[in-house]
Amino acid sequence: MLAIIGGTGLTQLANLVISHRQVMRTPYGEPSGAITFGHLQQHEVMFIARHGYGHTIPPHEVNYRANLWALHDQGAKRVISVAAVGGIRADLSPGDIVVPDQIIDYTYGRQFTYFDGKDRSVTHIDFTRPYTQELRQQILDAAKRANEACRDGGVYAATQGPRLETAAEVNRLERDGADMAGMTCMPEAALARELGLSYATIAVVVNHAAGRGSSRDGVHLESISTVVQPAMARVRNILECVVGSDGD
């Protein structure tokens, strides 16, 4: 089954026909909220709001382990995460939608693995390509069918938050090769890989990164919400088209 993790601006799926909600406990604590089960275009999906349904959980306090564990436990095979980002690359502007293909992790102090604890043999995962290519392609194909412009590829810098970056930090991220900055794809992507889930992200550019473009003198937080609403409507169109693409 397809699972969708909604981020900022996507705390619910308006086009989801809800069948039930499931409150979960996991060995890692409580997920961000109940998992919502329902049908999107007649296909079964599950949905969870990463920041809670009231958008109260900041990026560094999200229980990523519990969220991914709960989705896996309920039968998810593919996970599409939706994430707001700031555009670093000059050609990324507010409103653009990107399917990133790489990650650089700058986060710290988060619970980032299931493979810890005593009496456990050391386990590594291959993370050369942090996003599942097949699922990325399914999203890109769905965007084409939905007639929604969607960029193929880009490096996602996962920053700690909850504050936004300084202009100098954004310069460093760019020198490192990052195209966009967000706060949530790590450890989410790595945990999905540890559980054997397919995982890909639909990144929505909601602002120019600090010091760039319209954020040259500061990020105008109030204008983010005006970008988010129409962009998330476009994301919903893409999700409607991707849901049937793997025999869900």
Our finding on whether 181 is near ligand HPA (CB under 6 A) is yes
CB-nearer residue toward ligand HPA: 23 or 168: 168
Q: Does 209 bind ligand HPA (CB under 6 A)?
A: yes
Nearest CB to ligand HPA, comparing residues 46 and 181: 181
Question: Among residues 132 and 159, whose Cβ is nearest to ligand HPA?
Answer: 159
Determine the interface stretch with ligand HPA among 39-47, 117-125, 205-213, 228-236 (rule: CB under 6 A): 205-213
What is the rounded CA–CA span in Å between residue 39 and residue 51?
22
Tell me the C-alpha distance between 3 and 72, whole Å: 9
The residue range among 28-36, 102-110, 143-151, 201-209 that interacts with ligand HPA, by the rule CB under 6 A, is 201-209
Checking DSSP bridges between strand 151-152 and strand 97-99, what pairing results, if any? Answer: parallel
Report CA-CA distances (Å) from 227 to 12, 81, 95, 102, 158: 17, 18, 6, 24, 21
Asked if 86 touches ligand HPA (CB under 6 A), the answer is yes
Is 81 one of the binding residues for ligand HPA (CB under 6 A)? no
Name the residue nearer to ligand HPA (CB basis): 74 or 214: 214
Q: How far is the CB of 146 from ligand HPA (least distance, A)?
A: 23
Q: Which stretch binds ligand HPA (CB under 6 A): 14-22, 36-44, 133-141, 175-183?
A: 175-183
Distance CA(181)–CA(50), nearest Å, equals: 17
Q: What is the rounded distance in angstroms from the CA atom of residue 147 to the CA atom of residue 206?
A: 20
Tokens read off for 102: 């790489």
Q: If you write DSSP's letter for every residue of 165-209 in order, what string do you get?
A: PPHHHHHHHHHHT-SEEESSHHHHHHHHHHTT-EEEEEEEEEEEP
Q: Least distance in Å: CB of 182 to ligand HPA?
A: 5
Q: Does position 165 bind ligand HPA by CB under 6 A?
A: yes
Residues whose CB falls within 8 Å of the CB of residue 121, separated by 6 or more in sequence, listed in order: none
Q: Pick the piece of the chain touching ligand HPA (CB under 6 A) from 50-58, 110-118, 176-184, 187-195.
A: 176-184
Q: Burial level of 170, CB count in 10 A (0-12/13-18/19+)?
A: buried
CB 146 within 8 A of CB 124: no
Q: Is 159 in the site for ligand HPA (CB under 6 A)?
A: yes
Residue 173 lies near ligand HPA (rule: CB under 6 A): no
Binding residues among 1-40 for ligand HPA as defined by CB under 6 A: none
Which residues bind to ligand HPA, rule: CB under 6 A?
84-86, 159, 164-165, 181-183, 206-207, 209
